[in-house]
Amino acid sequence: MSGTTTSSGGEYQLPREHYLNASYGIRSWLLTTDHKRIALLYLAAVTFFFFVGGIFATLIRIHLLTPNGLLVTPETYNKLFTMHGVAMVFFFLIPSIPAILGNFLIPIMIGAKDLAFPKINLLSWYVYIIGGCFVLYSFGTGGLDTGWTFYTPLSSVYSNSAVTPAVIGIFINGFSSILTGLNFVVTVHTMRAPGMTWFRLPLFVWSHYATSLIMILGTPVIAITVLLAGLERIFHFGFFNPAYGGDPILFQHLFWFYSHPAVYIMILPAMGVVSEIIPTFVRKPIFGYSFVAASSIGIAVIGFLVWAHHMFVTGEATYAAIAFSFLSYLVAIPSAVKVFNWTATLYKGSISYDTPMLYALGFIGLFTIGGLTGLFLACLGLDIHLHDTYFVIAHFHYIMVGGAVMGYVGGLHFWWPKITGRLYPEFLARAAAIILFIGFNLTFFPQFILGGLGMPRRYHNYPPEFQVLNVMSTAGASILALGYLLPMLYLTWSMRYGKIAGPNPWPATGLEWKTDSPPLTENFRETPEVDWEPYDFVHRPDLGLTGSKPKLPGKLSPAHGDD
């Protein structure tokens, strides 16, 4: 083991004091204002909702094994896919990377002691939990059958399921997102360490800044929208009810004004994770730093102007549809800038295939497929054929699962040594990454074909000729489940038995790697001063890379500490 300074005997020791042992007891967690502990509170809660959503997904896939449905009644099937979507979108994907990794890392990455508003940070967790309780109450008392999109007047007038508590829960949960976004924006503006200029910010921070802008500008709109739908249901108000002359299409506009940018809330942080992982395991500065940074903002801005591409078949005006189609194509440009720059970073780099890198490479491939199939759906003519088919399902799962979740799990591995101070078992982790990749593709690639053949989404049954592809998809889902369970197990195991990681096991260039693993409650012993450019391996003798010339892979240290 070479690399950064070690204690006697070449083995690392855990630091004597760190945020995990600073205080003990349930109160020290539930009343903490330490951004790192709040991140772990989120980790526990978000993992719980991932399981809830995962169970529904499992039941859906089992049900679809046979053409007439294996498991549940059609009504229950409606509830299963609705609750899967609600749990996964609002309570897993949106908070996952920002509220866990972002919360943990942003203050450390910019050299601050905490976020700008630590109490508001804790408040946002409680708001999330309260919103989550309402939604779980809805799941437990009759379930929810409107689709995660809550289209009116089904949700506001006709549905016989527990829509009201779900809508209240999603309304409340929105404020958790708003408060997190607000905290991040203000933190990045006012809490940076000396020398941490805007263009020295890690790309992870840039992508979270862009994400936070969407959270701030989009989430209030979904909050008011579901509130209006809720008022309509509870008090028989008539905002979207055609019986009163209200316009259900207006609900769709308002809903997608948030819910399309919400996709970027999920994917942008994952892109930030990938932008951190790639330079680290290629030993090269990222190609075109400022373009990658600016493309995050570009995605956030253009992302707000594409929402009506979800509504091409609602009879919207042709010229509006053309404009939204064009703008949807436009958003592909900043996304492609990122993909090309990551790929260019790989060129002539000293690549090592550590677990986080496997996830990052998987992300690039799957995100590219997900992004390109998005262009199919932005195409006015083609969308008529593909609308509401499994093609759409496959497309957004490639973005949300292949993209966002791969980024999340990869990021979790990459910063796990920082969070816990210990390394995970590398072999198992690589195996899990590969299992996950195979399982994912086997689950969702057949759905592209099913969609192209015309299998509609949200149906509890299908013609017998679609069975082979559906069985493939279900088989893939079981492999995928294994790919998720494995990291759950070995990451938990490694919290106690993993090898001590040391401050910078990869080594990577960010400020977060210059402090202890796990860090102190105050993050740094003294406020760091930044006098290096981001992702610069050459002028960083403190990283302990021998030779310090990135073109000589043979002389470089292994990318992680234990092989």
Partner 1 sequence: MHRTGELYGQYKTLEQQKETATLGMWVFLVTEILFFGGMFLTYAINRHEYPTAFGVGGNMLDLNLGFANTVVLIASSFTMAMSVWSAQTSNKKLVPIFLIFTLILGIVFLGVKVVEYKQKFDHHLIPGHGFDITYCSKQPAAVCGISEEDHAKEITEIKEGIEADGGLVALNAHAQLYFSLYFGMTGLHALHMIVGAGLLVWLILESRKGRFDANYNTPVENIGLYWHFVDIVWIFLFPLLYLINRHLA
Binding site for partner 1 (CB under 8 A): 107, 112-118, 120, 178, 182-183, 185-186, 189-191, 216-221, 223-225, 228, 231-232, 235-239, 243-247, 250, 254, 522, 527
Cα angle value 145/150/154 (rounded, 5°): 70
SS3 285: coil
For 183-224, give the DSSP string. Answer: HHHHHHHH-PPTT--GGGS-HHHHHHHHHHHHHHHHHHHHHH
Residues in the chain: 563
Q: How far is the CB of 231 from partner 1 (least distance, A)?
A: 6
Nearer residue to partner 1 within complex by CB, 181 or 439: 181
Taking the least distance from each CB to partner 1, the nearer of 142 and 238 is: 238
Residue 60 Cβ vs partner 1, minimum distance, rounded to whole Å: 32
> Please, are residues 444 and 476 in contact by the beta-carbon 8 Å criterion?
yes
- In this complex, which beta carbon is closest to partner 1, that of residue 5 or of residue 314? 314
Cβ distance to partner 1 smaller for residue 179 or 508? 179
Q: Could you please report the per-residue DSSP string of 71-114?
A: SS-HHHHHHHHHHHHHHHIIIIIHHIIIIIIIHHHHHHHTT-SS
Q: Are 346 and 364 in contact (CB under 8 A)?
A: no
Nearer to partner 1, 130 or 216 (CB): 216
Residue 258 CB, nearest distance to partner 1 (Å)? 9
Minimum CB separation of residue 245 from partner 1 in Å reads 5
- Smallest distance from partner 1 to CB 153, Å: 13
Q: Minimum CB separation from partner 1 for residue 114, in Å? A: 4
Compare residues 46 and 179 and give the one whose CB is closer to partner 1.
179
Measured distance CA(338)–CA(399) in Å, rounded = 14
CB of 73 to partner 1, least distance (A): 33
Rounded CA separation 61/93 (Å): 20
3-state secondary structure of 499: coil
- Which CB atom, from 113 or from 540, has the smaller least distance to partner 1? 113
Cis peptide before 507 (omega within 30 of 0): yes
| Comparison of 120 and 472: residue with beta carbon closer to partner 1 | 120
Instruction: Give min distance, CB of 528 to partner 1, in A.
Output: 13
Q: DSSP secondary-structure letter at 260?
A: H
| C-alpha torsion sign, points 469, 475, 479, 485 | positive
Helix (H) or strand (E) holding 481: helix 467-497
